[in-house]
Amino acid sequence: MKKRIVTISREFGSGGRFIGEEVAKKLGIAYYDKNLINQIAQQSGLAPEYIQESAELSPRKGLFAYAFAGRDSAGKSMEDLVYEVQRKIILEIAEKEECVIIGRNADFILRERTDVLNVFIHGNLPEKTQRICRIYAVSEQEAKKMMADTDKRRMTNYNFYTDQKWGKASNYTLSLNSSELGYERCEKLIMECMEME
């Protein structure tokens, strides 16, 4: 079956968001990333700032924070509520239109669909560091800390809600090294795979 949806999981600094946005533009399809935050906030009744912080990243305290987070009488935490609303929205979007979805465990949420291309974008440390330094105007040391912190929190969130390993090749259709291939080649490879039956 021809692919209608691309999910992109990515290492911080690998350019995954930029690559996804370009693919969506070139294919003329919808692009979902930060624009999901307001939808999740509306449906959950929580502040967009809170959603931004917890929809894709684990609490700063790591995995134990999930286990011991404040839970209601049904045993659900605020993070669980955010995940459930996010999951519902992603499933609705997939039914409605062709699109590119960045992060938010979309590859796992849409795992039962046959029209989804799941991509993981990673890169080499020196190039990712330089990119983060340039974009965020930080030192190399700060860039490396941002990378380690963000990727650890993405991984913890993914591993907790999916029972799978973030970045493991078998969870994705394509695993691309943007440092080796360049952004344009990554985009072309994704678009070529979208055309395959």
Average pLDDT, the chain: 88
Give the model confidence (pLDDT) of 140-178 as tens digits: 999 999 999 999 999 988 998 998 999 999 999 999 999
pTM, whole model, 2 decimals? 0.87
What is the pLDDT at residue 75?
Answer: 60
More confident residue, 54 or 3: 3
Q: DSSP letters of the chain?
A: ----EEEEEE-TTS-HHHHHHHHHHHHT-EEESTHHHHHHHHHHT--HHHHHHHSSS--TT-HHHHHHS-B-TTS-BHHHHHHHHHHHHHHHHHHH--EEEESTTHHHHTTT-SSEEEEEEE--HHHHHHHHHHHHT--HHHHHHHHHHHHHHHHHHHHHHHSS-TT-GGG-SEEEEHHHH-HHHHHHHHHHHHH--
Name the band, by pLDDT with cuts 50, 70 and 90, for residue 121: very high
